Structure 1
Amino acid sequence: MAPHTPPPLGSGPGDPGRCSISGSVAGLDTGRRTATTLGCGPAAEAASSVSRSRKGTATEGVVIASVEPRTPAARAGLSAGDRIVAVNGQTLRDAIDFQFHAADDRLELLVERDQALLPPIALTRRGPDLGVTLAAPRPGEIATCANKCVFCFVHQLPRGLRKSLYVKDDDYRLSFLHGNYITLSDLDETALARIVEQRLSPLYISVHATDPALRHRLLGRPRHSAEILPRMERLAKAAIRMHAQIVLCPDLNDGEQLRRTVFDLVPLHPHVTTVAVVPVGLTRHRQRLPALRTLTAGEARSLIHVVEGWQRHFLATLDTRFVFLADEIYLLAGRDVPSSDAYEDFPVEEDGIGLVRRFEDEFVRACRRAKSGGRGAPRLCRVRPRTTDASAHPPRGAPSAGPGEHEGGVSPLRTSVGGIDSPPMKSVTIVTGEMYGPRMAALVAALDEPRGRVTVAPVPNELFGPGIGVAGLLSGRDIQRHLASLDGLGDEVLVPSITVRDGDGVFLDDLTPADLARDLGVSITLVEPTGAALLHAIQHAVAPRVTEERPRSSGARRGLGGVGAMSGPPAKRESEERPGSPGPLPSVGGVWGAMSGPPTR
């Protein structure tokens, strides 16, 4: 243990006991940041930088990607490209070590620049943010997953996508820093000791099953590696908090096996804080892979009934619902998602649990807060949209409900909402995934006579197949192909920013929003995954005179090849979108897919 024991990471204005960490592993995309500011606080984030070897030079340390001006790091003379080798005499292995040893107010840094060590640099902390952004690690610097899970999403990817998409991580450092789920299969004694010493909590654990024989079958590993409870018990004894995940595979770990898994974890509460149940996601690219199937609508309804009973029991005995179902299960069942109270503090929102409720509540609140900006401005929302009956969001694969609808129950044409009540005539098209399309249309319908026409365009996923209906897994070509088939896209197309990788702004298939704007001949605007940001973007598109009077987000930019980007008002999140392998593609459905993508492990 270091001479100075820092307070729990993140103690400050953010989540107590957890550093406000977000960002991305370079190349392990699905729309995450490639590097973020290091520090603990509402405006500071951390990004992982795993040690890498270089011939003839130090193999330890973390590389600085950028330094914010007028910060302690800038005043100390640190520059992008510098490698911080040690802090207060403690050699650094990665960003976790940096956080652990840089918690003091007075720091002495050993820095390497241009392959030469500089004299020690003194730095005094003034506030939580040092102003340093660390470079993200390369895929080869990350502990990769040796499991052969029967449901692995990476194994279901088609060829020809970005190489980084095919990287599977099983790295406890990324679990702590970014909330990636890990199986603990290859966690050795050194890693366990470090987790305990540096109190790397919480961790996100892919449990799937507590029956060793079944977990061995699911993970494709020797039985001794598949044993999960002894490892979790050891972490619990060290007071490490854990969020558990179960990828539900019908006929394998459902039914009585699901009950066993959930109740086997109860004795580890409160250290096991939550158990997330998410449905397996299957693409069309499963040749030579184990035969699996997805949940049916009836099975989803039965599962909700059973889990709601468990939640009532746990609420009475543990003072928490403990087990939570992914939003996709409710949508598949044709059920409305629970109220915000049922998600407690939204602890596993980035696993697709509570995203729909948070986004829709936020949209309605933002709409009700909107004030008239002049003649013709949008008025306040009427009421919360009612989308509780099955017809409002039919399950995937439901029969056609009538002319103009396709097999998924979502119209291949846009759903028009509102009307144009005064010139100039403005209209906007909102892109989303097929699964969330009906709810998006109902949500936008809550706008009371918007000054313009707002239409919703659910895009079929041709890249991964009809089993994947979330927005975050839409390719640029799928969006382009579908929008090109529609008549009259209007003045602007709003695309959820979660569909592109932050930093270089490319879709999964390397197309860019500028490519879409050029091919479609319409302005493309990327919108951040919050309800408030969507409302702001709609108002800006259909009633620009209104939003000109509103403060624009610092992230807004327009006019670049017909492409705009609007971050909108930020949403409060306990944890940001996490990087790593595309699984469980946390919040890759993001705002408009509004659920997580299929897990890999």
Structure 2
Amino acid sequence: MKNIISKIKPDSIAMELGLEAGDKLVSINGTEVHDIIDYKFLITDEEIVVEIEKNHGEHWELEIEKDYDEDLGIEFENSIMDGARSCRNKCIFCFIDQLPKGMRESLYFKDDDSRLSFLQGNFVTLTNMTDADIDRIIRYRISPINISVHTTNPELRKKMLKNRFAGDIFERLKRLAEAGISSKAQIVLVPGVNDGEELKKTIEDLFSLYPNLEGVACVPVGITKYREGLPVLKTFNKESALKEIMLVKELQNKYQKLIGEPFVRLSDEFYVMAEEEVPSKEFYQGFSQLEDGVGMIRILRENINKTLGALDKENKGEFTIITGASGYKELLNCANIIEEYSSNIKLKVLKVINEFFGETITVVGLLTGMDIVNALKKGDSYKKVIIPSNVLRAGERIFLDDMTIEDVERLTDCKIIIADYSGEDLIDCLNKELKEE
């Protein structure tokens, strides 16, 4: 099924040429197309020759003149046109290894594919890439790439990833940076393993690759209750989270003076655990690390304050807002601001404990449908329930435990409303529901 076209975009070059769903892309300019990266690179020229195998077996050779970098207007059955590369590591903190049995098969797949990093923002370790793969990234200018670094200490990285080939990460990062490839680094921090002085050295090493290595995000290790047979790891607490904040702050101040930005940032969880105030809007400079949970609290506050004036104050409504333990205080504060602005709106913030993965998992994005059902049944809640979009499979209405929105509505007799929890989107959702009432 490789390279099979699934859709032709309206008014596109492909439609004008008579291409159809089910046709197969064979080559461009005589070069076989192995994956989406080949395709994106080879179609950039203004004059190209495309070989197509029609769904009835006939071969077409099409000479195409187009604008530079103009797409042909085709989509493929497989987004990368090839099988995703699975991870070869056995990281001591791997979340997938901590999943219970019996979940849907796709959740157990560990991707570690630079093509998905380029296309979808996924993080990769670079451990399953050959020198030829690195050459292709440089040749095709695949950029930016999100890279899971964790440590630049070669021996420690081998131990953390349980991969004897994982120790050359800094050499590979340096090679990419020297070739002008942009990247961002992620560090999963494990207390007593790669924190403290090890973290300081890792950040200093990575800063030496700035500006092509654009920045570093640090996130705390997540530990579920399903760790039988896995290494015993500690989690962060108030004291250790504060210690990490202070260590990183020293470096942030240093880099702020050197380059005008902090370069390394901690996810919001550290500030919540340490009961410390999150940094200012200026500190996050565009909020480019939200996928790591960096700056989510600050952007929520900013957007609530910015869009509060657009809230419909005339209509009445009652809503329950679902959140995890780590976001409870912040959502409660937002609810209070909204209620003070409009006495017609009643908001109840429901803190849902993660019974599925265990209470040590406190982020809202890892709540399951049944966690939410149980919490709604236990407490006195309003019948209109707002949940964040990141508890659902991307683009679908399905939770991690395969429950659907409709399942939750049926079991709780509530209406489920999906929002992004960006602040702005939350106000939009409230306005929509208030109008309907």
- C-alpha displacement of 1:480: 1.2
The one-letter code matched in structure 2 to 1:429 is: T
Residues 231-277 of structure 1 show CA distances to partners (whole Å, capped at 9, x for unaligned) of 11221221112211211111111111111111122221222211111
Distance 1:113 1:451, change over 3 A: farther
Rounded Cα–Cα distance in structure 1 between residues aligned with 2:421 and 2:7? 26
Contact 2:125 2:148 in 1 (8 A): yes
- State which of 419, 422, 433 in structure 2 corresponds to 1:527: 419
Among candidates 332, 346, 352, match of residue 441 of structure 1? 332
User: Would the alpha carbon gap of residues 287 and 206 (structure 1) be closer, same or farther in structure 2, given more than 3 Å must change?
Assistant: same
Q: What does residue 260 of structure 2 align with? A: 319
User: 1:544 and 2:398 equivalent?
Assistant: no
Kindly indicate whether the alpha-carbon contact (under 8 Å) linking 1:156 and 1:283 is maintained by their aligned counterparts in 2. yes
The 3-state SS of whatever aligns with 1:143 is coil
**CA shift at 1:179, angstroms?**
2.0
Contact persistence 2:5–2:25 (CA under 8 A): yes
Corresponding residue for 2:151?
Answer: 209
Shift of 1:88: 3.5
Which amino acid letter does the alignment assign opposite residue 97 of structure 2?
Answer: H
Shift of 1:120: 2.8
TM-score with structure 2 setting the length: 0.92
Shift of the alpha carbon at 1:77?
2.7
Q: What's the C-alpha RMSD, in Å, of the aligned pairs?
A: 2.4
**Paired AA for residue 460 in structure 1:** I
Equivalent of 1:334 in 275, 281, 284: 275
Match of 1:171 among 110, 113, 116: 113
Q: 1:341 to 1:287 in 2, by over 3 A?
A: same
Cα distance in 2, alignment partners of residues 115 and 470 from structure 1:
51
The reply on whether 1:135 has 2:26 as its aligned counterpart is no
TM-score by length of 1: 0.68
* Contact 2:36/2:80 (<8 A) preserved: no
Q: How does 1:116-265 map to 2 (within 5 A)?
A: 116-121=57-62, 125=66, 130-136=72-78, 141-222=83-164, 224-265=165-206
- Alpha-carbon contact 2:196-2:247 (below 8 Å) kept: no
Determine the structure 1 residue equivalent to 2:7: 66
Partner of 1:467: 360
Matched, 1:104 2:45: yes
The 1:526/1:106 distance shift into structure 2, 3 A limit, reads: farther
- 1:382 is matched with which residue? none
- Structure 1: stretches of 5+ with no match in the other structure: 1-53, 55-60, 379-424, 546-601
Per chain length, whose mean CA-contact separation is higher, i.e. which structure has more relative contact order (CA < 8 Å, sep 6+)?
1
Correspondence 1:476 to 2:417? no
Q: CA deviation at 1:115?
A: 6.1
Contact 2:153 / 2:202 at 8 angstroms: preserved in 1?
A: yes
Give SS of 2:185's match. Answer: strand
1:516 aligns with 2:408: yes
CA contact (8 A) 1:450 1:542 kept: no
Question: Partners in 1 of 2:81 and 2:4 — Cα distance?
Answer: 15
Q: CA deviation at 1:187?
A: 1.6
CA deviation after TM superposition for structure 1 residue 227, in Å:
2.3
Q: Please report how far the alpha carbon of residue 113 of structure 1 lies from its aligned counterpart in structure 2 after TM superposition.
A: 3.3
Contact 1:498 1:529 in 2 (8 A): no
Question: 2:323 pairs with 402, 411, 432, which one?
Answer: 432
Aligned to 1:377: 314
1:199–1:240 contact (8 Å) kept in structure 2: yes
The alignment partner of 1:62 has SS state of coil
Call closer, same or farther: CA 1:371–1:530 in 2, change over 3 Å. closer
Identity %: 35
| Residues 69-111 of structure 1, C-alpha deviations (whole Å, 9 max, x = no match) | 2333333333333322223333211111111112234544322
Distance 1:180 1:62 in 2: 22
Which whole-Å deviations, capped at 9, do the CAs of 1:539-590 have from their partners, x for residues lacking one?
A: 2223437xxxxxxxxxxxxxxxxxxxxxxxxxxxxxxxxxxxxxxxxxxxxx
Contact (CA 8 Å) 2:3, 2:77: kept in 1 or not? Answer: yes
Which has the larger displacement, 63-72 or 151-160?
Answer: 63-72
User: 1:144 touches 1:171 (CA, 8 Å); kept in 2?
Assistant: yes
Task: Give the residue type in structure 2 aligned to 1:151.
Answer: F
What SS is found at the alignment partner of 1:69?
Answer: coil
Contact 2:29/2:50, CA 8 A, preserved across alignment: yes
CA distance in structure 2 between the partners assigned to 1:282 and 1:118 by the alignment: 53
